[in-house]
Amino acid sequence: MPRTTKTKPPAEKAAKPAAPKKPRAKKAAPRIAAPKPVFKTGYVALIGRPNTGKSTLLNALLGQKLAIVSDKPQTTRISILGIKTTDKGQTVFIDNPGIHKPLHTLNKRMMNFVYSSLETSDVVCLLVDATEKFGHGDEYVLEILRRVKTPVFLLINKVDIVRKDTVLPIIGRYKDLFPFREIIPISALKGVNLDLLERLLTAALPEAEKIYSDEEISDQSERFLFAEIIREKILSKVTQELPFVTAVYVEAIEKKAQADWKKRDSPTSGTVPLEDGGIEFGRTRPVTLVRASIFVEKDNHRKIVIGRHGSLIKQIGIEARQEIVEYVGHKVYLELQVRVREDWRNSEDVLDLIEGQKG
Ligand SMILES: Nc1nc2c(ncn2[C@@H]2O[C@H](COP(=O)(O)OP(=O)(O)O)[C@@H](O)[C@H]2O)c(=O)[nH]1
Ligand SMILES: [Mg+2]
C-alpha cells in the first residue's frame, strides 16, 4: 500500500556516556555528543458515540481509506489500527466501534473492543458531533471515561457544518464535566485543525522507540478490507434495520493470471504473429477472484438486499468491484451470495468467522 508519510528511522542507539579512558599523553579536545532527537510513540484510541466521525478521522489522519464510513450508526464493528510514522514519532490510532448499550452478542463484542483500546492507549480522543445535542448517550460515554486514567482530548467534530457561535457553548459544557487535557474543534471531513491535533498528540505520547515497521500502516488483512468495502456499499443502499443485520464474509480470494485474448487482434486462435513470422500466445494479466457471502437474518432481508430482479445486489457488486480494482490495480471478478443466518448477531461461531477475517 502506498505510504503517505515519508519515514526516517530514528538514530539507532542512544549516545553512550563516555567510558573511562586511559590517560593520554596529549589532552584531547572535549567532544560534545549531539542530543538524541526525541522520538514519541504510542497508541491513540478514537472513541465516541456512533456516527461522530471516528473512521473519517482515521482515514484523514492516514491520508487514505483504511476504515469504511457511512451515515448509519454502528458501521465500525472491529477496532482497526492506523499506523503513522514520521521522523518525530509513531502514532498508532485505534479506530473503534461507537459507544452504545449492547443488546446482542455482536454489540457486546464491539464494546469489548472499545474497552480494550481504552486500556491499551496512551491518549484517548473523544469525538463528539457538533451538530448533535448533548444527551444521555454522551453522559454514558463520560461515565466510561471517568474510569480511565489516560489523558483525554476532546475533539468537537463536524465544525464545517455548524455556525461558529455554537462551538463555544459546547466547549463550556464539556469543560465543566470532565478534565480534558485538550479541547480541539475539528473537521475530519475537511481537514480542519488536524495538524494541530497531531502535534498535540505527539507531544502527549511517551518517549519510546517505534512498535511497528515503517511499512506497516494497518493491522487489517486484504480479506477483511474487501469484506468491509462490500459492506460499505450495502450500507449506502439500505435503510432501517438492514445495516444492523448485515455482515460480509469473504470466502475466498484467488489470484490468477488470465490470458488477455481480447486485447490482441487475433480473431481465432488467440495467437499473435511475430515480426519473424512466428506466433506467441496472448499476454497474461493478473486477475483477482473474490467470492463473498452476505449474511442477513431473515428471508425478507435477503429479498431487500437482492432487490427487484437482482438490481440492488448488482449495483452493490459494481461499486464494490470498482473499489477493489482500485486497490489491487488489476481486473477483479466479484461473486456475491446472500445467505440467511438466523440470529447471527448472537452466534459466536458466525462472529468468530467474521472477526477472524481481519488477521
Ligand atoms: N460534515 C461533516 N461530516 C462528517 C465529518 N466527519 C464525519 N462526517 C460524516 O459523519 C458520518 C459518520 O462518519 P463515520 O466516520 O462513519 O463515523 P463513526 O461511526 O464515528 O466512525 C458520515 O456520513 C461522515 O461523512 C465532518 O468533519 N464533517
Ligand atoms: Mg466508524
Residue 9 pLDDT > 60: no
Nearest CA to 137 out of 78, 80, 52, 72 is that of 52
Kindly list the protein residues that place their beta carbon closer than 5 angstroms to ligand 2, a single-atom ion.
54-55, 75-76
Q: Is 217 in the pocket of ligand 1 (CB under 6 A)?
A: no
Overall number of domains in the chain: 2
Cell of 66: 483504511
Residues 6+ positions from 110 with CB-CB distance below 8 Å: 74, 77, 78, 97, 100, 102
Question: What percentage of the chain has pLDDT greater than the value 70?
Answer: 85
CA of 280 to the centre of ligand 2 (A): 50
> Running DSSP on this structure, what letter comes out for residue 239?
-
Q: Are residues 128 and 195 in the same domain?
A: yes
pLDDT (0 to 100) of residue 37: 83
- Cα 110 from chain centroid (whole Å): 15
Q: Please give the single-letter amino acid code of residue 44.
A: V
| Segments forming the whole domain that contains residue 347 | 222-356
Helix (H, G, I), strand (E, B) or coil at 115: helix
Radius of gyration of the chain (CA): 26
Decide if 31 is inside a domain.
no
Q: Are residues 124 and 252 in the same domain?
A: no
Question: What is the reported pTM?
Answer: 0.86
Q: Are residues 162 and 287 in the same domain?
A: no
Q: Are residues 229 and 200 in the same domain?
A: no
Decide if 175 is inside a domain.
yes
**Residue 260 vs residues 266, 281, 322: alpha-carbon distances, Å:** 11, 9, 20
pLDDT in tens, 296-348: 999 999 999 999 999 999 999 999 999 999 999 999 999 999 999 999 999 99
Q: Assign residue 322 the CATH number of its domain.
A: 3.30.300.20
pLDDT (0 to 100) of residue 17: 42
Go through 274-294 and write b for each residue having 16 or more CB atoms within 10 A of its CB, e for each that does not. eeeeeeeebeeeebbebebbb
**CB 170, CB 177: distance < 8 Å:** no
Final residue belonging to a domain, choices 204, 236, 271 = 204
Decide if 35 is inside a domain.
no
Q: Are residues 50 and 196 in the same domain?
A: yes
Q: Assign residue 186 the CATH number of its domain.
A: 3.40.50.300
Q: Are residues 240 and 279 in the same domain?
A: yes
Q: Which residues pair with 82 in a beta bridge?
A: 93, 218
pLDDT (0 to 100) of residue 167: 97
Decide if 270 is inside a domain.
yes
Final residue belonging to a domain, choices 204, 232, 247 = 204
CA of 57 to the centre of ligand 1 (A): 8
Decide if 244 is inside a domain.
yes
CA of 275 to the centre of ligand 1 (A): 58
Q: Are residues 226 and 347 in the same domain?
A: yes
Final residue belonging to a domain, choices 152, 173, 204 = 204
Give the confidence band of 275 by pLDDT, cuts at 50, 70, 90.
Answer: low
Decide if 241 is inside a domain.
yes
Cell of 148: 480511565
Using most ligand atoms within 8 A of CB, pick from 47, 49, 51, 55 the residue to mutate for ligand 1: 51
pLDDT (0 to 100) of residue 110: 98
Which of 273-282, 284-293, 309-318 has the least mean pLDDT? Answer: 273-282
Helix (H, G, I), strand (E, B) or coil at 309: helix
Residue 206 pLDDT > 80: yes
Which H helix or E strand runs over 333? Answer: strand 331-340
> What does the H/E/C string look like for 65-100?
CCCCCCCCCCCCCCCEEEEEECCCEEEEEEECCCCC
Residue 5 pLDDT > 60: no
Give the residue, by CA position, lying nearest to ligand 1 atom 8. Answer: 53
Give the residue, by CA position, lying nearest to ligand 1 atom 19. Answer: 51
Decide if 21 is inside a domain.
no
How far apart, in whole angstroms, are the C-alpha atoms of residue 46 and residue 197?
A: 12
pLDDT (0 to 100) of residue 6: 31
Q: Is 194 in the pocket of ligand 1 (CB under 6 A)?
A: no
Phi and psi, residue 222, nearest 5°? -60, -40
Which of 12-26, 54-68, 81-95, 147-161 has the least mean pLDDT? Answer: 12-26
Q: Are residues 293 and 228 in the same domain?
A: yes
Residue 23 pLDDT > 80: no
Q: Are residues 60 and 133 in the same domain?
A: yes
pLDDT (0 to 100) of residue 33: 79
Mean pLDDT, to the nearest integer, of 1-23? 39
Cell of 17: 556516556
Q: Is 10 in the pocket of ligand 1 (CB under 6 A)?
A: no
Q: Are residues 55 and 177 in the same domain?
A: yes
Which of 6-10, 57-61, 254-258 has the least mean pLDDT? Answer: 6-10
Q: Are residues 186 and 70 in the same domain?
A: yes
pLDDT in tens, 233-248: 999 999 999 999 999 9
Q: Is 160 in the pocket of ligand 1 (CB under 6 A)?
A: yes
pLDDT (0 to 100) of residue 8: 34
Q: Are residues 162 and 74 in the same domain?
A: yes
CA of 152 to the centre of ligand 2 (A): 19
CA of 72 to the centre of ligand 2 (A): 9
Decide if 76 is inside a domain.
yes
Give the residue, by CA position, lying nearest to ligand 1 atom 11. Answer: 71
